[in-house]
A and B are shown apart, each in its own frame.
Chain A
Amino acid sequence: MKRNPIWMVVNGIGLVLLICIFALPFVWMISTSFKTLGETMTFPPKWIPNQLLWENFSKAWNSGPFLKYLMNSTIVSVGILILQFATIIPAAYAFARYRFKGSNFFFGVTMITLMIPTQLIFLPVYLQMSSWGLLDTLWALILPFASSAFGIFLLRQSFKQVPEELLEAARLDQASEWKIIMKIMVPMAKPVLITFGMFSFIAHWNDYFWPLVMTTTDASRTLPLGITKLREVDGGVAWNILMAGNLILVIPILFIFFFAQRQIIRAFIYTGVK
């Protein structure tokens, strides 16, 4: 069936269509980011600008302290990721492997936090951060996300699939619980950890709402907020500069995908044990 040439052509066309659907907005963004303002408004729309206007990028970059934004975004996203790994790995291990009094209850409570939207709790958190004097610092962007119910749930499921015999063998060899986690559990759950890491990193890299609420000065702002400065004008938006700013925002993520792609695929292939 698969060798059938007609099938292969249909398959190919389908894939090309799919790529178009996903890639078109990106191509449009890149194209717009090189245009003059007048060109962004022409009809019918132009795909290729008359000349590449590189100065759009310097205009976007110079519209605020973008280096500072970039650093803040990196510190916040990486910081959250590290704290999350530090909390969800032991928590998931405990929920997956230990039976203790109230373990189901506590797991239930953890799951409930998954169902509460951020917008519902931001005010109490805001006031809490305010009373700790952490408003408008990077801590206010990192600490509320130091753990993740979603991550605990995901990791617990994958820890549960590790055969009990493996752990018993390790315990017979006098391995500490910590060593079991780091040498057996974590390597086995590598694809899940990488997937979760990507989700978390991208979510916080792109997060607009939380930094908007918690920060008031450029010193603690992240990239998405820097870019809204380009969008928030009274009336006409300079789409070309805005798209140049967006491109600056997504390039680091594209790089991560580019380099992590092999890692992710390899991680998935290596999970032979079930």
Chain B
Amino acid sequence: MKNIGRFITLLVLVLVLSACGDNQEGTGSKDNKASADSGRTEITYWYAFGDKIGENNENLVKMFNDSQDKILVKAEFQGGYGDLHSKTQAAFAAKNAPEVTLNEIASMGVFARSGMTENLTPFIENDSDVNLEDFNPGLMGNSYVDGNIYGLPYLRSTPILYMNASMLKEAGLDPAGPKNWKEFEEYLRALTVDGQSVGMSMPVGIWYFEAFVGAGGEDMLASDDSEVTFNGTAGVEALEFWKRLAEEGILKIHAGDEAAAQATQDFANGRSAMMFTSTANLTQNLAIAEENGFELNTAFMPSNKTSGVPTGGANLVMTAGLSPEKQQAAWEFIKWMTAKEQTIYASKYTGYLPSRLSAIDSEEMQSLYEEIPQYKVAVDQLQYGKARPMAEAYPEISTILADEITRSLLEPDLSPKDALDKAAELANPLLQ
């Protein structure tokens, strides 16, 4: 009997405890109603990523809530972009989606075309506060889906070349970095010391491949998304270049899930002299460089016939099917978040790019660029920025392409042309 008694006590205790938990949530849970006492319209905003990026989101939302008394935004973290997207889709199906969320820029098309995000064009046209011209054109490519604007640039990045300037100087190279493919190759060769360090360590990143295809003046997909074009002249040339460098041993290729982490690690401990990575990693890498005693410099992605670099990161979007009141509140919030002052704040806090031209010209950003010139490189590179492909199948196509590129780099007999044709053959049916 003692056992039963104890058992029941515990059971009751747990039920009461979890009921308490429920009550606490009750006040904060989204009932999709304006809270009665304050009269403020409540909206929910879902964001991706923790750490500095998460703090930036929480801080900005708090600042927005303090700045006015009509709208109350609740910011909620939902994981990485993948988790955020699938959770938004599930919540949309269950009819409890957040009013405002983020779309990783290559996913803008999927969300807009399946009717999950709202067309923002009417809001922009009816609002004299918004000057579209002020948004950096290099970042706007992915905002448009079928001619309408579905999102505004928020936390945005672009891949750049990171260099261990101390090693460059030691090898007698100009620490400003290579300009084009030819110089890039010379740098790699000069920086490779047998058994000690390699010119560059790199994962098979489609993001970087896009920049190399862009340097040849071509695109990954046809403009109407009907077929892939990465197996054209520019793509084949890019992969032939990679393969030649890898076979010479001056470009080290990593494959697998940990490839990017390995490349970062090689760079951090001086076993590679250069790497490609996002501007979003600049703050952390500057800290590592300082701790490990080397000088870090940044440069544009090397150009070939021309320059054409992808951008990354996320746009702010509004979910579809909201009441006019919620729509207005969501729009006010999106507008505020993408305004000049906030993009300056976010850029300084996270290292992402400022999305507005007036922000780049502002005194605050200019003095930051003077102090840490490495930040400036990414902003300048945006003049060559182009949209990422937004076809629904692009994530899957990227995986196929990365596999075939890896195979071509690892198998001496597999020519780049054959590998890319094979990838195209597998990818094209996905675009039908």
**Chain A residues engaging chain B, CB cutoff 8 angstroms:** 36-38, 41-43, 63-64, 71-72, 75, 78-79, 82-83, 85-86, 123, 126-127, 130, 135-139, 142, 178, 182, 186, 212-213, 216-220, 228-238
Contact = CB atoms under 8 A, between A and B. Distances in A.
A233 B94 contact: no
A235 B14 contact: no
A36 B285 CA distance: 13
Nearest to A129: B94
Given A216-B78, A230-B50, A233-B49, A136 B29 contact: yes
A106 to B, nearest CB: 25
A72 B74 CA distance: 21
A217 B54 contact: no
A127 to B, nearest CB: 6
Nearest to B22: A137
25 contacts: A36-B291, A41-B288, A42-B292, A63-B51, A75-B14, A75-B18, A79-B17, A79-B18, A136-B25, A136-B29, A138-B21, A139-B18, A139-B22, A182-B4, A216-B87, A219-B28, A228-B50, A229-B50, A232-B80, A233-B49, A233-B51, A234-B53, A234-B157, A234-B278, A237-B261
A113 B28 CA distance: 36
Contacts of A82: 7, 10-11, 14
Contacts of A137: 21-22, 25
A83 B332 CA distance: 47
Given A38-B291, A137-B25, A213-B90, A186 B14 contact: no
Interface in B396-410: none
Given A41-B292, A79-B14, A126 B284 contact: no
Interface residues of B, number: 56
A216 B46 contact: yes
Contact of B269 (A42, A79, A213): A42
A75 B291 CA distance: 42
Given A139-B22, A182-B3, A216-B76, A232 B49 contact: yes
A42 B77 CA distance: 32
B24 interface: yes
Contacts of A212: 79, 83, 87
A25 to B, nearest CB: 15
B278 A78 contact: no
A43 B265 contact: yes
B121 interface: no
Given A37-B284, A213-B87, A217-B28, 4 more contacts: A38-B268, A42-B268, A71-B21, A234-B49
A220 B91 contact: no
B328 interface: no
Contact of A234 (B24, B93, B280): B280
Nearest to B283: A236
Contacts of B280: 234-235
Interface of B: 3-4, 7, 10-11, 14-15, 17-18, 21-22, 24-25, 28-29, 46, 48-54, 74, 76-80, 83, 87, 90-91, 93-96, 155, 157, 261, 264-265, 268-269, 271, 277-278, 280-281, 284-285, 287-288, 291-292, 313
Nearest to B15: A79
Contacts of A78: 14
A127 B28 contact: no
A212 B3 CA distance: 35
A236 B18 contact: no
Nearest to A39: B291
Contacts of B18: 75, 79, 138-139, 142
Contacts of B53: 233-234
Nearest to B281: A235
B28 A37 contact: no
Contacts of A229: 50-51, 54, 77
B191 to A, nearest CB: 17
A43 B76 contact: no
A235 B277 contact: yes
Given A136-B29, A216-B91, A232 B278 contact: no
Contacts of A79: 14-15, 17-18
A237 B157 CA distance: 17
A139 B18 CA distance: 8
A39 to B, nearest CB: 8
B4 A63 contact: no
Contacts of B48: 232
Contacts of A142: 18
B79 A232 contact: yes
A230 B54 CA distance: 10
B291 A63 contact: no
Contacts of A41: 264-265, 268-269, 288, 292
Nearest to A217: B76
B179 to A, nearest CB: 25
B267 to A, nearest CB: 9
Contacts of A238: 51, 284
A75 B281 contact: no
**Pairs of residues from A and B, 7 with the lowest C-beta to C-beta distance, nearest first:** A229-B50, A38-B291, A41-B268, A235-B281, A130-B94, A236-B284, A219-B25
Nearest to B312: A234
Most B Cβ at <10 Å: residue of A137, A186, A228, A232: A232
A236 B263 CA distance: 11
B21 A75 contact: yes
A130 B10 CA distance: 28
Given A42-B269, A72-B21, A236-B264, A37 B50 contact: no
A72 B22 CA distance: 11
Contacts of A43: 265, 269, 271
